[in-house]
């Protein structure tokens, strides 16, 4: 059973009972996952966008969008409209497939992983995780990289607060670190 089916059949009814919600649309859900790579070095080397675009499309299964500078910053020799990164927005089946891969394959591969910090939420139930190396994803081979780069994964939910978002992601399989209350 896929994670999306698991959410619809088991997790959503459990959340509805826990939240004591009468309307099924009031239950928190993931709305999208954004995978982002900042590439400031793309100002000097245009080939970096191409190679990292290929890497990011392998990781997410979707072609990335080039992000551009909004403003000019003279200190960095940056002009508005110059390419400075790549991003992919995942929704629907791809979003659930990526989330499942993230929680079951990628996070356990991270060295000295003790769980995701409970402080990674933004106050509105959304969570961001930063990876210092893209090589934690199984599709990326270290030999094929010219330089190790990191990426950021943002999980956007419809939760009203951090506690609702944390509960949703925990039920979906996100490995959070044990809090001091859990250890006692």
> In this predicted model, what pLDDT tens digit does every residue of 131-144 receive, in sequence order?
888 778 878 777 76
Percent of the chain residues topping a pLDDT of 70: 91
Mean pLDDT of all residues in the chain?
82
Instruction: Please give the pLDDT value at position 111.
Output: 79
Q: Which residues contact 20 (CB under 8 A, 6 or more apart)?
A: none
Q: What's the pLDDT tens digit per position in 44-89?
A: 677 777 888 888 888 888 998 888 777 777 776 667 777 778 899 9
Instruction: Please give the pLDDT value at position 184.
Output: 43
Q: Which pLDDT band holds residue 177 (cuts at 50, 70, 90)? A: confident
Fold of the CATH domain 28-176? 50s Ribosomal Protein L5; Chain: A, (3.30.1440)
Q: With a cut of 50, say whether residue 183 has pLDDT above it.
A: no
Tokens of 44: 């000097």
Q: Which pLDDT band holds residue 34 (cuts at 50, 70, 90)? A: very high
If one counts every other C-beta atom within 10 angstroms of the C-beta of residue 168, the result is 24
């Amino acid at each position: 059973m896929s994670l999306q089916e698991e959410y619809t059949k088991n997790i959503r009814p459990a959340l509805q009972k826990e939240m004591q919600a009468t309307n099924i649309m009031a239950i928190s859900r993931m709305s999208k996952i954004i995978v982002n790579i900042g590439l400031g070095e793309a100002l000097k080397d245009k080939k970096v966008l191409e190679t990292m675009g290929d890497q990011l499309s392998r990781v997410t299964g979707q072609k990335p969008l080039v992000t551009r500078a909004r403003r000019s910053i003279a200190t960095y020799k940056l002009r508005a409209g110059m390419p400075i990164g790549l991003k992919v927005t995942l929704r629907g089946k791809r979003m659930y497939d990526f989330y499942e891969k993230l929680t079951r394959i990628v996070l356990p591969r991270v060295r000295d992983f003790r769980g995701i910090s409970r402080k990674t939420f933004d106050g509105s139930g959304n969570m961001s995780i930063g990876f210092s190396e893209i090589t934690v994803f199984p599709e990326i081979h270290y030999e094929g990289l010219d330089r190790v780069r990191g990426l950021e994964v943002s999980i956007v939910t419809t939760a009203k607060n951090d506690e609702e978002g944390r509960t949703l992601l925990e039920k979906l399989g996100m490995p959070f670190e044990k809090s001091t209350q859990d250890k006692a």
